[in-house]
Structure 1
Amino acid sequence: MKAVVYTRYGPPGVLRLMDVETPAPGDGEVLVKVHAVSLNASDWETLRGKPLYSRIMGPFRPRHHILGSDIAGQVAAAGANATLFQPGEQVFADILGHMGGFAEYARVPQSALARMPAGMTYEEAACLPQAGAIALQGLAGKGQVRPGQKVLINGAGGGSGMYAVQLAKLHGAEVTGVDSTEKLEFMRSVGANHVIDYTREDFTRNGRAYDLILDLAAHRSAFACKRSLAPAGRYLYVGGSMAALFQVLLIGPLAGLSEGKKIRVLAVRLGVQHVGPIVELCQAAKIATVIDRRYRLSEVPEALRYLGEGHAKGKVVVIVE
């Protein structure tokens, strides 16, 4: 089968389209013929080995040589004791634990799979697992957004941000999106009431306060973010620099105690079993999935470069023909 392979951390140039052996499903696993894979920040980070937490499974060299985790396709074969899905069934999954999505076939534990939501394309289903889980748990879960609250989403122009803005609006919040100059109009198009260009304005210094800050691209200090929280406000770190992560972990629990503010890391529970509510909202046309660009399997390096350089508005999808 064809697969995009890498054996060392580095830029997209280390990726190679190669012929590799088609994996055989093991005990409790199924073989999925991949039709679509959506890109996530986790792919870009694990490709480069930066930040350092992306090397947790391989400190010096990548443990898994095929990236891609949010997939949709058809069951091609079932291994021993894999009885939940039959060949030909349409499925989607988050396989971040071992990746392998940038290939014609992927071996997947049956527990990681779910049947394709009715009315969705492979591309739409592949967009949901990680981005949908982050948005859902950041807003409706730990974020506890209520009508009338002010919510700021840093990194609102990306995949998770796209869903998060729409979810916050559905909960009746006033939403401010923060991202680069080229994404301002996109953030407005998915429902942001206000937009901030981070290249021109530091949201932690403009004097405005928010009931929730969902930080998908954290680079500000924990103390700076505390300054932007309203009394009893919540700050949730999802991704960003190692310095910001360590500050949130070490200082966050104490930084806002006197004012009732909470500064925490959002520990996201990944897996398609956690995205049911957002799937239903998409099926009801209350939330839209915006796909910015589509690439072929041979174009994975270009797709990752586009994502990693911060250009993606919404989701980027690889179509496996």
Structure 2
Amino acid sequence: MRAVLQERFGPPDLLRLGEIDRPRPGPGEVLVRVHCAAVNPYDWHMMRGDPYAARLLGGMGLRRPKHRVAGIDAAGVVEAVGAGVDALRPGTPVLGFCQGAFAEYACAPVERLVPKPERLSFAEAAAVPMGAVTALRGIRTVGRVRAGHRVLVNGAGGGVGTFAVQIAAGLDAEVTGVCGAGSVDLVRALGARHVLDHAHEDFTQGTTRYDVILDNVGNYSPVRLRRVLAPSGTLVANGGGSPGRVFGAIGSMLKVAAVAAAGRRRMRPIVPATPDGPVHEDLLAVTALIEAGRLAPVVGRTRTLADTAAAVRHVEEGHSRGKTVLTVR
């Protein structure tokens, strides 16, 4: 089968399209014939082995990538199932977390997949897993957004932000989205009552106090963000603003924790949505919102599997509007 391969840590240019054997599902696993896969910031961090601290934790490998085939967000059709799998059958369209998604076939534990909503194309479905689950956790689980809350989403035009704006607006919050000029109309259409162009407006210098700030960018220090939090407000940190290649988002989260302790404000990180963590209930929750017409993925750009390096570079440079998706077949 065709797959995008990486033999060592480094920039996206190291990726190459090659041929490898098709994986076989083990007990409790599902083999997915991948139709589309989404690109996440998570992917380029894994490709670069960045931050170094994460290598010591064992998630990405120490000297070379732990997984030869990158990618985790996938949508496709069940090709085969391993022993003990009853929840999904061959021929069922699915979406979810598949390690090695940048390939024609990928395996995943059955609990990391859910049926694809009929209203979504495969490209739209591939855009859902990491972005929607992270947004759901940030807005509903960690932020505990309620009707009437003032919610600010920094990075509202990106892969997580576009979902977060919709989820918060669906909870009857007053949403302010911060994004680039090219995403202003999109963010407003997704439900934001106020939209700020980050190039011209600094929300940390404003007078509005927010009940919840979801920071997907990390371009402001926790101290500056604390200025515009309501007294009982919550800053939800989505790992942005890496302070260096050594500690990366881990260092950002430690800074948030230190500022929270000093200022007696609620500042909390999102528990990352990864292929190794519990995600099934969250996937069911976001697909239920999609089926009800209350949540829709935004696909900003599609590329072919052969163009994976360019797609990853585009996401790494912070240019994504919605999700960038690879079409595999």
Q: Same fold (TM over 0.5)?
A: yes
Q: Which amino acid aligns with 2:267?
A: I
Task: Answer whether contact 1:136 1:275 (CA < 8 A) is retained.
Answer: no
Partner of 2:267: 263
Cα offset, 1:17, TM superposition: 0.3
3-state DSSP of counterpart to 1:138: helix
Partner of 2:127: 127
Cα offset, 1:253, TM superposition: 4.0
Partner of 1:282: 290
Equivalents in 2 of 1:312, 1:204: separation in Å? 24
57, 76, 79: which one pairs with 2:79?
76
Q: How does 1:171-320 map to 2 (within 5 A)?
A: 171-240=171-240, 241=242, 242=248, 243-249=251-257, 251-257=258-264, 261-268=265-272, 271-320=279-328
Equivalents in 2 of 1:207, 1:8: separation in Å? 48
Task: Answer whether contact 1:46 1:54 (CA < 8 A) is retained.
Answer: no
Structure 1 residues 70-79 or 46-55, which shifts more?
46-55
3-state DSSP of counterpart to 1:224: helix
3-state DSSP of counterpart to 1:267: coil
Q: Which runs of 5+ in 2 are unaligned?
A: 243-247
Q: Which amino acid aligns with 2:77?
A: Q
Cα offset, 1:53, TM superposition: 5.4
Residues 84 and 285 of structure 1: is their aligned pair in 2 closer, same or farther, counting only changes over 3 Å? closer
Equivalents in 2 of 1:275, 1:254: separation in Å? 32
3-state DSSP of counterpart to 1:21: coil
Q: TM-score normalized by structure 2? A: 0.88
Q: Which amino acid aligns with 2:123?
A: E
Determine if the alignment matches structure 1 residue 161 to structure 2 residue 147: no
Q: Which amino acid aligns with 1:299?
A: D
Task: Answer whether contact 2:97 2:108 (CA < 8 A) is retained.
Answer: no
Partner of 1:110: 110
Q: TM-score normalized by structure 1? A: 0.90
Residue-by-residue CA offset, 1:68-121 (whole Å, 9 max, x unaligned)? 1111111212233334332222222213xxx20000010212222222223332
Equivalents in 1 of 2:288, 2:24: separation in Å? 33
Task: Answer whether contact 1:151 1:210 (CA < 8 A) is retained.
Answer: yes
For the aligned residues, what is the CA RMSD? 2.0
Equivalents in 1 of 2:231, 2:147: separation in Å? 17
Residues 200 and 48 of structure 1: is their aligned pair in 2 closer, same or farther, counting only changes over 3 Å? farther
Q: How does 1:142-157 map to 2 (within 5 A)?
A: 142-157=142-157
Runs ≥4 residues deviating over 6 A: none
Identity among equivalent pairs (%):
39
Partner of 2:136: 136
Cα offset, 1:54, TM superposition: 5.1
3-state DSSP of counterpart to 2:224: helix
Q: How many residue pairs are counted as aligned between the two chains?
A: 314
Q: Which runs of 5+ in 1 are unaligned?
A: none
Residues 308 and 235 of structure 1: is their aligned pair in 2 closer, same or farther, counting only changes over 3 Å? same
Task: Answer whether contact 2:208 2:228 (CA < 8 A) is retained.
Answer: yes
3-state DSSP of counterpart to 1:139: helix
